[in-house]
Structure 1
Amino acid sequence: MKKKEKITMNDIAREAGVSQATVSLILNNSQSIKLSDETRQRVISTAQKLGYKKIPSPHQMEGQEEIAVLVNGMPGYDPFVDAFNQARDAAWRNSTLLTIYDYGNDDELAIHIIRQLEQRRCTGIILAAPITSAINFAPFENCTRIPLVLLNVYDRNYPMVPTFLPNDYANALQITRHLIAQGAKRIAHITGDRWMDASQHRLEGYKAALSTAGLTCDPELVIHTNWQLNESYRATCQLMQSSQPPDAIFCSSDWIALGCYQALASLQINIPQEVMVAGYDDQRYTSQLTPELTSVQLPYAELGRLAVEYLCEGEDAATQVTMTGKLMVRQSTQR
């Protein structure tokens, strides 16, 4: 039986009535030379008819629209990466590419990137950061006519700018309520930096849950740190060696919870039998700790998707979306 001959670009060129160079440019998705849409379609249709295998996806054709994410610092692995993944998928479902630029908290660089985006078919811009924080939106107010939304950042002075945020207050509220439901009476809270709004909102949610349950908020049970492992280690030792140690500790991040775990191990205090521990962020390693760590899974994936869909649908109304995360109850709070 004679083996079927391989279809070449020369075969396609003869059938389509164009040069082999033209076929090569189109099938390699080159944008270096302007070719008519009719010629591109004729070459691709001919290639399909002849059974040529390496035909570019329709998404790769000239003029592809994009949505740009300008992020203030790129995390290695962080739950915030989920926002990028869902944003990318949502953009692709809307025949749009998602491009990501790290502007490193340099507003001048960010505005330069936006100027470049104005020269392309940019559907919208997402200004983002991996840590929920307030920003100064003033430099961006009139810098572009491209629709712009905020993801995980906000400026209270610009309520008309569409903003998508996790609800730190509500998340801390549900963690603390869970600890109370498990029987905890003296719940400590190890926070991050005082100046960060995220730290303050989590502290407020913690206090509100105690107040609703009729429990006193003892100032000695609240210790501020700078998010460092050694700081949370020290804070935990201070709490557990006091005259009235806590029976539960709510850590303002999973990283802080790691330092807490180390301190309790060095003090030979069992989790959760002697003290319950809860984290925040639901990092990947939380289910690999011993015991597995209870934490809050932040809604970054959903927020990233919503931000992209807002831009793709051409919405122009102001919107302020805040979403509560999902409490992931594990062994560290189950007695």
Structure 2
Amino acid sequence: MTDVALEAGVSQTTVSFVLGQTAGSKLPQATRERVIKAAHKLGYSLPTLPASPMPVTSAVSCTIGIMVDQLSTTHDAVVAIEGARLASRNTGNVFLVAQMAGDPETENRTIEALKKADISALIYMAIFTRELIAPAFLGDLKIPVVLVNCHTEDCLFPSVVPSEIAGGENTTLHLIKHGHRRIATITGEHWQEATQDRLVGYRRALATADIPFDPELVVEGDWSTSSGYDATKKLLQIKNRPTAIFSQNDRMAIGCYEALKELGLDIPNDISVVGYDDEEVARHLHPPLTTSVLPHRAMGEWAIERLGIPFTPQERRFPITKVECPLVIRKSVAPPKAN
């Protein structure tokens, strides 16, 4: 939606209203046509929507509860909820969204309130990808339950997570294909599943290209811009410094950009940089940042699609679905300078 908004010269909200045919949005027809034209120009295939949306009262199929651990500290949950809404645009599903904040007592009160609202299904969502110790009430519910961005060891519920190992591998391979062999990575906090998986992917890519792993080229950050700045300064002090840096999120990549520019280094001619997440700021950095999409919208869409499939486990287990983190190629990568 950001790409279409930039092409059409409108806001992301306007794009959402047009593509979702949001009721009551009094947009000029010319604006609608401009958004649709921009989407086609960028190669997006638009869904076939009904000429006139049905009244919500006749289209409602069920009320879906969404429980998420955080809403206020990150936009990721909102993106996933929007994906669920768009996937439901022709069904009339009603969503009741509640934030849990990691408190068991709040969770119990929340599920009781949702049950009183007569929800027909539940989407249980985590912000940080992780293995979940499922609350007891999930197993007691007599309605379908899906997990978004989390999973359980026993796989008792259908779940979806980003394909982080493949994402880390593809990002690193992109740098290798440009001729880089001294590739550093700035990780998130080591205890997080996303950090561990992206690092596994990074190491796999190096091994595939027969590049020895150098622990000196791995610096831990904490996902913040400041940690990306500090980690880059540390990497540049290495005697045989890297020619490329894989920042494991876009915010740390911003700090990386600032550190490199402060030292008079050009991106990508002196050092290439790639990020992860594809936040909106990645498009507006100079140069625009090559990064991988964190597929929260696609995971929200998956949740709705999965709720429409009979809940029949395979040998009492539901396989974990992994959604691709596609690489968005921009202008922050170039071949390394010849020595």
Bucket of the pairwise TM-score, normalised by the shorter protein: 0.7 to 0.9
Q: CA deviation at 1:62?
A: 11
Number of the residue aligned with 1:238: 234
Matched-pair contact (CA < 8 Å) for 1:250–1:279? yes
Cα 1:313–1:123 change in 2 (3 A) is farther
Identify the match of residue 291 of structure 1 among 263, 287, 290: 287
Aligned letter for 1:173?
E
Q: Supply the distance in 2 between the matched residues of 1:125 and 1:93 (Cα, whole angstroms).
A: 19
Give identity over the alignment, percent: 32
Q: How does 1:178-327 map to 2 (within 5 A)?
A: 178-317=174-313, 318-327=318-327
Number of the residue aligned with 2:331: 331
Letter in 2 for 1:191: T
- Contact 2:138-2:145 within 8 A present in 1 as well: no
Partner of 1:144: 141
Q: 1:102 to 1:262 in 2, by over 3 A?
A: same
Q: Which sections of structure 2, spanning at least 5 residues, go unmatched?
A: 1-53
Q: Of the candidates 57, 63, 66, which is equivalent to residue 63 of structure 2?
A: 66
Partner secondary structure for residue 271 of structure 1 = coil
Q: Distance in 1 between matches of 2:60 and 2:279?
A: 38
Shift of residue 229 of structure 1? Answer: 2.0
- On the 8 A contact 1:123/1:311 being kept in 2, the answer is no
Distance in 2 (CA, whole Å) between partners of 1:60 and 1:68 is 18
Measure, in 2, the Cα distance between the counterparts of 1:62 and 1:94. 6
1:112 is aligned, of 81, 86, 109, to 109
C-alpha contact 1:189 1:249 (8 A) present in aligned 2: yes
**CA 275–80 in structure 1, closer or farther in 2 if over 3 Å, else same:** farther
Query: Aligned-pair distance for 1:244?
Result: 0.7
Match of 1:134 in 2: 131
Specify the alignment match of 1:40 in structure 2: none
The separation in 1 between residues aligned to 2:246 and 2:77, in whole angstroms, is: 21
SS at match of 1:142: helix
Post-superposition shift, 1:75? Answer: 4.5
In structure 1, the gaps of 5 or more residues are 1-56
2:34 match: none
Per the TM alignment, residue 139 of structure 1 is displaced from its structure 2 partner at its CA by 3.2
Deviations 1:153-212 (A, max 9, x none): 1222x2121101111101000000000001111000100101111100001000000001
Q: What secondary structure is seen at the aligned counterpart in 2 of 1:85?
A: helix
Matched letter for residue 111 of structure 2: I
Shift of the alpha carbon at 1:61?
Answer: 6.7
Amino acid of the residue matched to residue 301 of structure 2? R
In structure 1, distance between residues paired with 2:200 and 2:246: 13
Q: CA 1:108–1:314 in 2, change beyond 3 Å: closer, same or farther?
A: farther
Residue identity opposite 2:150 in structure 1: V
Secondary structure of residue in 2 paired with 1:118: helix
Q: Displacement, 1:138?
A: 4.2
How far residue 238 of structure 1 moved from its aligned partner, in angstroms, is: 1.0
- d(CA) in 2 for partners of 1:282, 1:141: 32
- Between 1:73-82 and 1:314-323, the stretch displaced more is 73-82
**TM-score, length of structure 2 as denominator length:** 0.77
Q: Identify the range of structure 1 (97-106 vs 317-326) with the bigger mean alpha-carbon deviation.
A: 317-326
> In 2, Cα distance between the equivalents of 1:68 and 1:100?
6
Aligned to 2:139, the other structure's residue is in SS state coil
Deviation sequence 1:26-73 (CA, Å, 0-9, x none): xxxxxxxxxxxxxxxxxxxxxxxxxxxxxxx74237986211110110
Inter-partner Cα distance in structure 1 for 2:238 and 2:117: 61
- Residues 87-96 or 246-255, more deviating: 87-96
Please give the TM-score of this superposition, normalised by the length of structure 1.
0.78
The size of the alignment, in residue pairs, is: 279
Please report how far the alpha carbon of residue 77 of structure 1 lies from its aligned counterpart in structure 2 after TM superposition: 5.6
The structure-2 alpha-carbon separation of the partners of 1:129 and 1:286, relative to structure 1 and needing over 3 Å to count, comes to same
Say which SS state the counterpart of residue 223 (structure 2) adopts: coil
- The DSSP-based 3-state class of the residue aligned with 1:203 is helix
CA RMSD of aligned residues (A): 2.1
Distance 1:79 1:296, change over 3 A: farther
**Residues 138 and 102 from structure 1, CA distance in 2 versus in 1: closer, same or farther, beyond 3 angstroms?**
closer
